[in-house]
Amino acid sequence: MSFGTLIDAAALRDLVDRPDVTVIDCRFDLINPEGGRRAYLKGHIPGARYADLNKDLSAPIRPNSGRHPLPLPKDFAATLDRLGIGNAAQVIAYDDAGGSFAARLWWLLRWLGHGAVAVLDGGINAWTAAGGTLESGEEKPLPRGTAGGGRTSPPTDGAAVIETAEIAAFLTDPKHLLVDARAAERFAGLVEPIDAVAGHIGGAVNHPFSANLAPDGRFLTGPELRRLWDARLAGRGAEHVAAMCGSGVTACHNLLSLEIAGLRGAKLYAGSWSEWIRDPKRPVARGS
């Protein structure tokens, strides 16, 4: 048993009670940061533990960083210990936002070399629609021996990340493509509900993460995503793609969709728009 991209609710129902399966609730609200935790306490998949985007899946904000810097490996290893994610665990991440937050945990674990991690397709709504029950309250104590294994080693694939200092040079090469996962109106600079500056990085293209989803909130099929991305990449290999968004979170949704489509090797611009605009000398583009 190994799920590396998606798992459906029916398959999870058959696995959820297994000791080698760890379910993580990643619900979050960017406008109301405590909302995800409150939703977890109200009702979550039985046995699931909660990972907070700000506290567990990101490092503290620095003066020149974006809103969700990547956690240091040693700090993330401690988080894995707390969550009970052992080295051999099959991890299932879910949320209530089309996988937009769960994909961040998916990417972080893959970054550290943990391949057995999947996003619950359709999230908690798919779980309840399939007859899955919920439980409320705090996390149950971990069984003895379920720890993250003290993983303090550096990420296995440092090449999976691109830094702000590399973006300008990246965009000078036409074989490269910087893909922004924010909604079209944010990309165009028409609205900006979160960051201090509206717009996008000149030369980037827009692929809202919502384009990866069917109307029911589940991911499009692999062949459908492949057609979508083939049109977007216009002959480029995925290894020439860098994914960004507002802060490096929903960008992971695009990276997951590329993986489902069989297109591997794209990078994450973890700092994304919120880091780019820290320096007012960096150019800002508006319009589609």
- With b for 16 or more beta-carbon neighbours within 10 A and e for fewer, the 139-175 pattern comes to beeeeeebbbeebeeebeeeebbbebeebeebbeeee
Q: Measured between alpha carbons, how far is 93 from 7 in angstroms, rounded to an integer?
A: 9
Neighbours of 32 (CB within 10 A): 9
Within 13 Å and on the Cβ side, how many CA atoms surround 180? Answer: 24
113 Rama class: left (phi>0) / alpha (psi -120 to 50) / beta: left
Three-state SS at 219: strand
Outline where DSSP puts E strands in 84-160.
Answer: 90-94, 117-120
**Helix or strand holding residue 205 (H, E):** strand 205-206
Structure-token pair, residue 50: 């909660």
- In the residue annotation, 245 being an active-site residue is answered as yes
Q: Measured between alpha carbons, how far is 118 from 12 in angstroms, rounded to an integer?
A: 10
Annotated catalytic residue: which of 9, 117, 241, 245?
245
CA-based nearest residue to 55, from 39, 36, 31:
36
Neighbours of 210 (CB within 10 A): 16
Q: Measured between alpha carbons, how far is 139 from 84 in angstroms, rounded to an integer?
A: 11
Classify the C-alpha dihedral 86-50-212-61 as positive or negative: negative
Active site residues: 245
